[in-house]
Structure 1
Amino acid sequence: MARIGFIGLGIMGLPMAVNLVRAGHDVTGFNRSPGRTARFAEQGGTAADSARAAVEGAEVVITMLPDSPDVDAVADDVLTAAGALWIDMSTIAPATARAVADRAHRSGLRALDAPVSGGEQGAVEGTLSVMVGGAADDVAAARPVLEVLGKTIVHVGPAGSGQTVKAANQLIVAGTIGLVAEALTLLRAQDVDLASAVEVLSGGLAGSAVLDRKATPMLTHEFTPGFRVDLHHKDLGIALGSAREAGVPLPLGAAVAQLMAAARTQGHGDLDHSALLLVLEQLAGLRKD
């Protein structure tokens, strides 16, 4: 069992850290919001009052943070964990991931970028999909830890590759949510029974994990965040920025990014990304607020 320092106990990070504790690892956690750290301690983890304290003596450091600047902000603290394996599971820019890996290697640490897909439900159930960038030997060393957190763990290439795959993942998820929102709006406008329509759509080629997980809360307008609009807005910015660097056009991605930006502008940033439905309903004149 490993001594793990875990930084970032948010919607995803807290259940991930708890799963590591339940698997028998010695996990010390830190979050900028003390209440989240306290909740981790209540579930068997060890609470730290700073990022540096969390990584002291750690063999493995896991960061699960909102954005590139957040990862940069804790880098000095993480790099005090001499010889540790740093697994950054945040979703950040590929260029930032490469810079972090280079800095870690120069400081004597091994580093992986290992963003995840599967949302809060996948984090709770330990069934996340993990896309890992870095050296093959480091991926092999990290696998016993990652297998507690995810069901699908795939080494996708050198440093930064995990983040590039995650950007592609976020394009697909956002685009699918957008099309589900459009479909439900069309069905609603034509007075079709929505639950029945979703049932038959799920059984055909239109079926998907997004439809399975998001359609019911969209029908009931229950947008409790599993993954917030604000974060998906950030992720689509990463995808578009990476595409610009590579000279790759993303016309559909750009369109759904504009819809996600509209959801955020309309005050839905703290809602689940399925709240993209609200934008489509407003465009269709089906919302009065």
Structure 2
Amino acid sequence: MTLPYSFELFPPRTPNGFDRIDRTVEMFAKLDPAFVSVTFGAGGSDSRHSLGVLQRLLDAGVPPMAHLTCVGLDVEQASRLVRSFLDAGITRFLALRGDLPHDAGDRVTDLRSAAELVQLIDRVDTEREPYQSLLLPGLRRSEIRDRQSKTEISVAAFPNGHPGAGVHRSDVAALLAKQSAGATMAITQLFFDPFDYLEFVDLARAKGVTIPIVPGIVIPTSLRRLERSAELSGERLPTELARRLDGASDDDARRIGVDTAVALIDELRDHDVPGIHLYTFNDHRPAFDVLDHIGLTSVGASPA
């Protein structure tokens, strides 16, 4: 069974980092992923670098997806940012609420939820590219023609609850609200047990969520990465996996991480998941190894 796959990419923090990004983009172009998502900081703090990566992907024929968060943006700023991405040819977005920095105090943002951000993206797209009139042959009247392009707006889903909420049933309601606002796909935060994803999907479907829910997969190639991933997601640390990674050589840790991700994906494939989204932390070689092991690609050489 063919399984669509996608990657997450961080923009470089310095202009020199674009050399490695260019090599990675070239490899992505050979792999033909469903899309590559590109992160950026709260308030669009590195949106210029993000846009540069998105444009590189677009030029290489790789479908790009732009991350957007509510944090640090008012409606006008968010609208300008969305319009700049659309003007550059970016039509895929990942709309996230985002978390306020620890030093934010009582600061708030105009956009209080990802559902509101989804609505804003859709509105800006509609205003920017309105429906067009098509003249009917031989008649002095016209009909409404569909827009040539339509944004695809993905959102986050949390199989074990948002780290700030802790109860995933409430997150199903939030996902349903995002769908009602116009979201076309959901991508999960990481999980370590396939049952957590499957239970969440069953619950979401029972509550009326119909959009695809793509599992997000982390490749734990070091104990530090595993601990950081668990911290960010609010997941409990898998003790047996942590024990195996603790003290392992770099090569062994990479093998353990790849094998762990492959085993997880193999279990998910038995349940007809709509695709897999690989969180790579800009270390893309293990991701390519995973795709090789599950028979989706034959990459050969990985970028340095």
| TM-score, normalisation: structure 2 | 0.28
| TM-score, normalisation: structure 1 | 0.29
Which of 1 and 2 has higher RCO (CA within 8 Å, sep 6+)?
2
Determine which structure has the larger helix proportion and give its number.
1
